Amino acid sequence: MEIYQHSIISIILTVVLWPLYGPWALLAIVGGVLIDSDHVLWYWAKSNKFNIKKTYSYCQNVGQTANIKEYKQAWMPFHSYEALLALMILSIIFPQSTPLLIGLLLHLLLDFFWVLYNWKDMLFFHLFCKSGIVFFYLWFKGSFRKH
């Protein structure tokens, strides 16, 4: 999904959650939009270049061309089961962080349905099932760099 779509939906979610959480509802935007910062981390790990504009172009290209090979190779640590589990635990310990969890859940669901609808496949689970911890280990080890 496009970042502007996630932004609009996250803002609507924030408005809906505001009566229950007050200013903490703003965390829904963090969970619903800033989760995509892991795209920048992936591009950086893969290309050894930190460039937000090129990251956006790369992601647009993968999405628009339905480049399944590139999509399956991607590691998105914030789109993982570990991020979801960590936020579930955090929201139990600190209930005011629940909008962060709800924003992340909504983002993940929207991504899942976007991929399913556009690519007619359950490819989203290739991202969701990859460990964020393993991603950071492999990145710092230099395993993603092209040789």
Residue 33 domain-assigned (yes or no): yes
Residue 129 domain-assigned (yes or no): yes
- Domain total in the chain: 1
| Tens-digit pLDDT string for the chain (147 aa) | 899 999 999 999 999 999 999 999 999 999 999 999 999 999 999 999 999 999 999 999 998 888 888 889 999 999 999 999 999 999 999 999 999 999 999 999 999 999 999 888 888 898 899 999 999 999 999 888 764
Residue 26 domain-assigned (yes or no): yes
Give me the domain span that covers residue 82: 3-141
Helices within the chain (DSSP H only) = 3-21, 27-32, 37-47, 52-64, 68-73, 81-93, 98-119, 124-128, 132-141
- Predicted pLDDT at 146: 64
pLDDT averaged over every residue in the chain:
93
Residue 12 domain-assigned (yes or no): yes
Residue 84 domain-assigned (yes or no): yes
Q: Express each pLDDT in 83-104 by its tens digit.
A: 999 999 999 999 999 999 999 9
- Predicted pLDDT at 147: 45
Contact between 82 and 131 under an 8 Å Cβ cutoff? The reply is: yes
Residue 146 domain-assigned (yes or no): no
Q: Is 114 helix (H, G, I), strand (E, B) or coil?
A: helix
- Predicted pLDDT at 142: 86
Residue 82 domain-assigned (yes or no): yes
Residue 14 domain-assigned (yes or no): yes
